[in-house]
Amino acid sequence: MLDFRAHLLLPRVLLIDDDLVSREVLATILTMSGYTVNTAVDGAGALVLLEAGEADPEVILMDAQLPGLSGLGLMAALRARSRAAVFAISGSHPGDELIAAADGFLMKPFNSDGLKKALEEHGPPVRLSSAAEGEPEQPVVKPDILARLREMMPGPAVREIYAAVVADVSDRIGKVESALAREDWAELRRVGHAMKGGCAMAGAAQAAQLGALLESGFLDPGSNQMDNSARLLRDLRAATRNLKRMLKMEFPA
């Protein structure tokens, strides 16, 4: 069986931080750097996401000081529900015991390069790039295409283009769900082809690569990958969230 993770766009991160500003800044930095991010405001919320299957992280970033369930207790609960690497994050030293129990420690502020370096040096084997070997990681939006569009038209018009991409991908998620329910593999390939073409034109690289994956017949019965359809849908939704974050950051209201 093919390794589905080798075809996914982004390493998944679950970020647990009760501070609104820190959470939004970190989520935006990580998203724009190529990570798929789920967020939780406290330990209890993070456990709900994991138990409901709404988050399937490879990496968990856990603030060292949270209200309610926190510290070593939260770390143990996370490990019981996920095989992700668990990293403590803090603006100050959280204590040797917590650092020793974690797979790594990151001092705020940090960027995606700092996260990658920490994982490579301290963490268990985690695939940071989910693209096929030899292929580059895909950004949310290709910077050169975004820059070109900004040269050609005013900012509000560029924003309209990406808002349309968000709406289109959201609509196609519904079509993918419907085609899966009907086991209509030809329709899945058609949806993927259309998504790939439109998103590629706008430089929405993550969504375009997912479209290409669908177009390839990856989920066809003979591919042995049908059991990964739910994960692919989660990645489509994550690509939509990433585009929304890009809009918020690049084109603030």
User: What are the residues whose beta carbons fall under 8 Å from the beta carbon of 53, sequence distance 6 or more?
Assistant: 230
Phi, psi of 65 (to 5 degrees): -130, 100
223 located within any domain: yes
At residue 245, what are phi and psi to the nearest 5 degrees?
A: -65, -40
Query: Do 74 and 154 fall within a single domain?
Result: no
Give me 151's structure tokens: 């040269």
Contacts of 18 (CB under 8 A, 6+ apart): 41, 42, 63, 66, 67
Q: Tell whether 8 and 113 lie within a shared domain.
A: yes
Q: How many residues does the chain have?
A: 253
Residues 51 and 86 in one domain: yes
Number of domains composing the chain: 2
Q: Do the domain assignments include residue 132?
A: no
Domain boundary (90, 122, 154) is at 122
191 with 228, same domain: the answer is yes
Q: Which residue range is the domain that position 183 belongs to? A: 143-250
CATH value at residue 33: 3.40.50.2300
**CATH code for the domain of 202:** 1.20.120.160
pTM: 0.52
List the chain pLDDT tens, one digit each, 253 residues: 233 333 344 468 899 998 887 888 788 777 776 677 899 999 999 999 999 888 888 889 999 888 899 899 999 999 999 888 899 988 778 888 888 899 888 887 776 677 767 666 654 433 333 333 344 456 788 888 888 888 888 888 888 888 899 999 999 999 999 999 998 989 998 899 888 888 888 888 888 888 888 888 877 776 555 567 877 888 888 888 888 888 888 887 6
- The answer to whether residues 234 and 168 belong to one domain is yes
**Is residue 137 a part of any domain in this protein?**
no
Q: Tell me, yes or no, whether 71 and 151 share the same domain.
A: no
For residues 15 and 107, state if they share a domain: yes
